[in-house]
Amino acid sequence: MSNTKPDDRPLFTYTIGGVKIEMPVRPYPSQVSMMDKVIRGCQRQQNCLLESPTGSGKTLALLCSALAWQKAEKARLEKLSEEEFQQSLIDWQQKEQQKKLKEKKQKKPNSPEKKLAETNISPAKTKGLCLSTVVTISDDSEEEMAVFKQPGKKRKINNSRDLDVSDSKSMSNDESIMTNDSSANNSLMTEDEDEKIEPKTVTNMPKKSRPVIPVIYFCTRTHKQIEQVIKELQRTSFNTAKSCVLASREHTCIQDSNIYYPQISYKSKTELCRDLLDPKARRRNSIKFRRTIDRCSYYDNGGVKISTYGQLAKFGVESVWDIEDIVRLGISKRSCPYYGTRLLLKTAEIVFCPYNYIIDPVIRSSMNLKLKGHVIIVDEAHNIEDQCREAASLQLDQTNMNMAKADCEKVYKSCSNSLSYSRLARYLSDLSKWIDQKSNDIKTYDDYNRGVISWTGTYTIASFDDFGIGLTAFEKFKKDCETILADSAEESEPDDTKMDTKENGENELVEKEDSDLDEAETLENRSSQDNVDAAITNATKTVLSSICSVFSLLYDEKYKFDYHVSLEKIMELKKYEHKERGMKTAGIGGWINAAAQPDDSRPVWKNIISFLCLNPAAVFDELKTTARTIILTSGTLSPMQSFQSELGTQFPIALEAGHVIKPDQCWVTSVSVGPDGTDLNGQYRNINTYNYQDEMGKVLWDVCSAVPHGVLCFMPSYMLMEKLYNRWQVTGQLDRLRRIKVVMCEPRRGDQLEELMTKYYAAVRGDEKGPSGALFLAVYRGKISEGLDFSDNNARAVVAVGIPFPNYKEAAVTHKKDYNDKHHKNKGLLPGWEWYQIQAYRALNQALGRCIRHRNDWGAILLVDSRYEQPKNLSGLSKWIRGRVERNSSWSTVVTKLKNFVETRQHEDSIAALT
């Protein structure tokens, strides 16, 4: 992390809307426009839609403008709070004086001189009294006050109305920082020489309120992107802002996953963490592994060593830190980064997190994120509609649900608080029976032994009511879930002094030290308590919380029409292991018993029920009603007209910024025909012809011959990519391509991509002998099109094949189109076909954004589809691309212009390198 101080950097200062913004570089016009929109949105509490192409400094503009506004807002709120406090003190003091006068009048009605002396108090004296009172009010920050909060002790605040301030013994024993200073009380009294008035501690004295400063929540897709955003923030003068990065235990846990035995590993660090913090789980594992399992030692330091920004500074970590910084500090100080981060969150000024932390109600609740009055910035927000629909949807495997039911039954039979678990198990059992009943209605199956039946959300609710699992039953289920999950959350926050209460009423500490008993004997004695300590698993908690979240929306009168429910019945092979049943595999004389193999496979039917939400506003509605301002931004928000209708939210402030590159840095053309004059229309009926497939191979060969280094080619589906690849293998076109470029295909599995990308970058650099450069065949909406950086030589050309309309045969797409057609008038939605087109162009724009990644980058974009000849099919492109598209009637013209463009740019690069 850089240690450069803000003062060492040249700053470019701009004032927008009365807010002073400091930039580390001279901003582009697009950045100034974006900062203006951000400032206006935050000041007016309005939502924003901001599109700015990749490489135009979008992130830097967002950070500087949002934090500059926050700084100005903090100063405004603190000034307002101080003014209100001073006025409340004056009002309070006047009431106190009137009260004193009233008491004196009642005690000495025959003393007019004294009354006159008491009533004639000058404004100057009143003001002086007020100022002296301000000094006595403690306004320490939470971090500073935390120093005085010792473990196991409570601050003593004496609220006695008859406390004598002359009692020095009483004052010396008070270890707290008193909020009500006795000197202030004395200064507000007029003592009578003839009469001793006993001073009293004032309990109604106004206190200075601490203004709530809006927090900036900066969200993006991945932790890798968050790391890039933090690097940008470190460049600015706002690098002293108190930042916090929210991440899962998988990224921040420093515990050894093989803590029990080397041969036993946990599926996730989340599971390991919860087991180590739960006293009951530790006891069960102690019995299971026959060794004492201690609580995680890193957690015990979590609130001590990494809990305040002062501590971070003490250990050499700046306020703006990334995950690597906090993990490194946690390892060195043996302190938990995950829980330390949760403590830092309480006083953070800017919070970074993946945007599903904000969007998904289940995750948001588990992280205890309070968004009321705060600012949410969602970067890479082009997929937010899909993310919201997914967060409000649920796919429930009946097998997993039955396991959750069995888990609740197990706890019900052994837990003292069994009533809630009993009702949960009963509801899950009834829901499973409903699924069984409905699956009997499936009469037809496809070639893959798969049958599907579906209903509307309203029909499902009516069916639930008839089956006895309707709204009344669900409300009880939800209440029990909240109780159980709250208890689980409390148990997961262990305390050294927490006691386990046994059924006989005796209390004993969970952890025993210096025991004279042999460890094995101790474990044996504890085994009888194992049933008492039974608890539901994390998988069961996930099932329960997901059902609660989605069913709450399903039963909401506002959203019950927005659901489509389907039940899928699938036949699958399930392995059965006879060894677990005690069957012996060895026969007579040591020969293998063929009738008793260790395992075999049998076909079984599996039911999966899906609750598909068709309205993203169901999830987004809570965000819009709680947050102060929501700013959605991306390099590819276009087409933008769907966001307002789909999210059910007004976005009064919108921006489509131009690119910062010069016109000659990016050449864009549409391609209608190939070298042989074959129509390159990408519709389904055309792509299945050999003429189209062969023509596409020749197009790519010409492009790879003309363009050096890396070339990306995006296709609408894996099916088309594999079809072309196989055809080129047969015709020999693939071998011809491999003579000039290394050819790679995007894998379906994401875990295979990293190794492939390493090979691609190496081929582009020419690390190995052979072809110079690489051709990467990829798909729209895949990993290559979404989150990877292909700057400079990594992508000197992007070939966009076809228009990536979603698969209309997918149930989710079909139901969504029908839903929009049905509700587009009463809900203001776009008609189904318009929504369908927007999904295609948004995916297309995202892929085209791989070409130009910064101000000095250059590249060519080829839109290969004859449908682009029609102007209406260009309207969905991003603004910076839309105005650059050329139409060339012949392929030879395209190749000539492409070669000229590449030669010109290479010449410009050579000149720039010399200078």
Short-list 220, 598, 270, CA closest to 382: 220
pLDDT greater at residue 575 or residue 123: 575
Above 70 in pLDDT, residue 106? yes
Count of Cβ atoms closer than 10 Å to residue 764 Cβ: 24
- Whole-number Å distance between alpha carbons of 674 and 657: 34
What pLDDT is recorded for position 915? 73
364-379: per-residue pLDDT in tens? 888 888 899 999 999 9
Largest CA distance in the chain: 123
- Give me the amino acid identity at 604: V
Lowest mean pLDDT among 20-29, 422-431, 484-493: 484-493
What pLDDT is recorded for position 743? 94
- Any idea what DSSP says for residue 209? P
Count of Cβ atoms closer than 10 Å to residue 215 Cβ: 22
What pLDDT is recorded for position 463? 94
867: tokens are 């449908």
**Averaged over 584-604, what is the pLDDT?**
51
What pLDDT is recorded for position 534? 60
Above 90 in pLDDT, residue 614? yes
pLDDT level of residue 851 (50, 70, 90 thresholds): confident
* pTM of structure: 0.79
Cα-based distances in Å from 246 to 323, 341, 621: 9, 7, 23
In this structure, are residues 373 and 214 in contact, taking their beta carbons and an 8 Å threshold? Answer: yes
- Whole-number Å distance between alpha carbons of 365 and 586: 54
685-725: per-residue pLDDT in tens? 899 999 999 999 999 999 999 999 999 999 999 999 999 99
Helix, strand, or coil (residue 563): strand
Answer positive or negative: Cα dihedral of 553, 556, 558, 561: positive
- Whole-number Å distance between alpha carbons of 798 and 170: 80
- Whole-number Å distance between alpha carbons of 764 and 755: 15
Above 80 in pLDDT, residue 384? yes
Above 90 in pLDDT, residue 464? yes
Above 60 in pLDDT, residue 122? no
Cα 693 to chain centroid, rounded:
41
- Any idea what DSSP says for residue 792? G
What pLDDT is recorded for position 838? 92
**Averaged over 72-78, what is the pLDDT?**
93
In this structure, are residues 434 and 467 in contact, taking their beta carbons and an 8 Å threshold? Answer: yes
Helices assigned H by DSSP within 538-672: 538-554, 617-626, 641-647
**Averaged over 827-840, what is the pLDDT?**
91
Above 70 in pLDDT, residue 40? yes
Helix, strand, or coil (residue 518): coil
Q: Which residues, including other chains, have CB under 8 Å from residue 249's CB and lie 6 or more apart? A: 268, 269, 270, 273, 338
To 10 degrees, what angle do helices 123-136 and 58-107 make? 120
Lowest mean pLDDT among 198-207, 243-252, 441-450, 818-827: 198-207
Q: Mind giving me the DSSP string for 455-484?
A: EEHHHHHHHHHHHT-SHHHHHHHHHHHHHH
Angle, vertex CA 752, rays to CA 750 and CA 753, nearest 5: 70
What pLDDT is recorded for position 809? 83
What pLDDT is recorded for position 151? 41
Short-list 258, 261, 293, CA closest to 533: 293
Above 90 in pLDDT, residue 417? no
- Whole-number Å distance between alpha carbons of 57 and 55: 6
301-343: per-residue pLDDT in tens? 766 778 889 888 888 888 899 999 999 999 988 899 998 898 8
Q: Which residues, including other chains, have CB under 8 Å from residue 684's CB and lie 6 or more apart? A: none
Length of the chain: 915
Helix, strand, or coil (residue 589): helix
Helix, strand, or coil (residue 607): strand
In this structure, are residues 373 and 605 in contact, taking their beta carbons and an 8 Å threshold? Answer: no
862-911: per-residue pLDDT in tens? 999 999 999 889 989 998 898 899 998 899 999 999 999 999 999 988 88
823-833: per-residue pLDDT in tens? 988 888 899 99
Helices assigned H by DSSP within 592-743: 617-626, 641-647, 684-687, 690-706, 718-731, 733-738
- Tell me the average pLDDT of the chain: 80
pLDDT level of residue 266 (50, 70, 90 thresholds): low
495-519: per-residue pLDDT in tens? 333 333 333 333 333 333 333 333 3
Q: Is the omega angle on the peptide bond into residue 639 within 30 degrees of 0, that is, cis? A: yes
- Whole-number Å distance between alpha carbons of 656 and 634: 10
Count of Cβ atoms closer than 10 Å to residue 221 Cβ: 19
Above 70 in pLDDT, residue 273? yes
Q: How many CA atoms lie within 13 A of 687 on its CB side?
A: 19
